[in-house]
Chains A and B, each alone.
Chain A
């Protein structure tokens, strides 16, 4: 195996590099702080790879262009921040309904509205889940390091292809802008095979039996694409049984592949009394706390970091709540994942939120202080 040389890489750069590694050759976007470096990197790299970079007139058009390129058979990415993510919502819903793969990156900044453009936040967790209307499924990843950004971007591209489902990559300003030393493996195969290579003879675009691969336009199959509820061939329908079946079907995809979609990582004591549950940059502060409390002081504490926010890791929280006395949920918002953790703890453990929304990171000291009284 060749020696892998470490490189200094920024989170946003890692996102762009991961996307390219996973075969993304189409980017449409409208630059916005703190996501702009992703667009810059894609603009610099894609033309040389035979890909396409388009700066569109706004985020609505960017999302539409990405959907169009996807149905034309390209792997696609777009990146934005809160204000632009709001604008993309309608077309994200369309992509979910029409089952068109794409990856949407939101590097979160302090909101609401234009907020504080350069300040970090984790305020878009619920927007990522419910920003577009209707009872839709969604996959949302939230990396906690530059390397995680790289491999979760690859996972996002591959899963979106495999499940014909938009995937949201929810970064925050801290992870997007920080640089760290990473090892990027060379040569290994990181792209899933093209789903269109395995098209069955009786292929239907929206087969009611379950997931069928996407056959891009121009590859021998003719079908209709719409945001309306549709039958197996893509033509609109309002027939109640078909409507219900169609909605069930797009949810079943995620249930069936849950183990590939829901990613979490537990570190710490095997019988913890206090567990921190968090995601994104807040994982970093929590890890510093657990390193000290568990590694050095052997206290019964642990950390569950959520790489996947949606579908919510309910099973993992249920198991944790049966073991721990207390679950602390630090997040840089007024409490968004907290409500979900409380729901799935089902009263088995006390769930406490730790919130910060002044545009600064939650520090290890803040978490230690919150944890302190449960360990004495």
Chain B
């Protein structure tokens, strides 16, 4: 099971996490890996809890549900509270510091990035926060070849928004390269 990656993308309905998970899964197929994508959400399309899981492996994948996440993304406080306790040491945890305010315990190495606020400020579009998050996740966990991923975004982004989504994805990489914020909430980023 050494090669297995189990990615959980969590947040609120409407944040685009299911689309993000489909893009990740499609990218995995194009990167010649086995993949299973699943999701769970409430009856409401927006505002309720939303969770999408993507299992990527070289081996065949039996159980489609994520059991031991190796990567966890939390895009809101409720999902952080719900999914953080199921995480084992070694799991990469990425949170959107725009919405998630802790508590952050020492034993889990949590990486905080201002995902939604960066999408709003730098791209003037909050809706692409999901793609920005995907960039951070893919950079941090080194899941899929970056160029393959960028092509998938163009292919699957809703009508005409491919380039904007690609920009957001690249911005996620930049956020990652600049480093996560410190626990105190102070940004470690150099001035841009």
Task: Name the contact of A8 in the complex, choosing from B26, B38, B42 (C-beta under 8 A).
Answer: B26
Closest-CB distance, A288 to chain B (whole angstroms): 4
Residue of B nearest to A174 (CB): B64
- Whether A55 is near chain B, meaning CB under 8 Å from some CB there, is no
Residue of A nearest to B55 (CB): A180
Residue of B nearest to A173 (CB): B40
User: A174 to B38, Cβ gap below 8 A?
Assistant: yes
Chain A residues positioned under 8 Å from B37 (CB to CB)? 8, 178-180
- Whether B101 is near chain A, meaning CB under 8 Å from some CB there, is no
User: A178 to B36, Cβ gap below 8 A?
Assistant: yes
Residue of A nearest to B152 (CB): A8
Task: Name the contact of A180 in the complex, choosing from B39, B41, B43, B64 (C-beta under 8 A).
Answer: B64
- Whether B63 is near chain A, meaning CB under 8 Å from some CB there, is yes
Assembly CA distance A12 to B62 (angstroms): 19
Q: Which residues of chain A from 223 to 270 have a CB within 8 Å of any chain B CB?
A: none
Assembly CA distance A329 to B155 (angstroms): 43
Q: Which residues of chain B from 123 to 140 have a CB within 8 Å of any chain A CB?
A: none
Assembly CA distance A150 to B43 (angstroms): 27
A binding-site residues for B, Cβ under 8 Å: 6-8, 33, 117-118, 174, 177-181, 281, 284-285, 287-288, 291, 361, 363-365
Give me 20 A-to-B residue pairs in the complex whose CB atoms sit less than 8 angstroms apart, sorted by A's number: A6-B29, A7-B29, A8-B29, A8-B37, A174-B65, A177-B38, A178-B37, A178-B38, A178-B39, A180-B35, A180-B37, A180-B64, A181-B29, A181-B33, A181-B34, A284-B62, A285-B62, A288-B63, A291-B62, A364-B63
**Other 19 A-B pairs with CB < 8 A, given A178-B64, A180-B64, A181-B35:** A117-B43, A174-B38, A174-B64, A177-B39, A178-B36, A179-B35, A179-B37, A180-B34, A180-B35, A181-B28, A284-B64, A285-B63, A287-B62, A287-B63, A288-B62, A291-B62, A363-B67, A364-B62, A365-B67
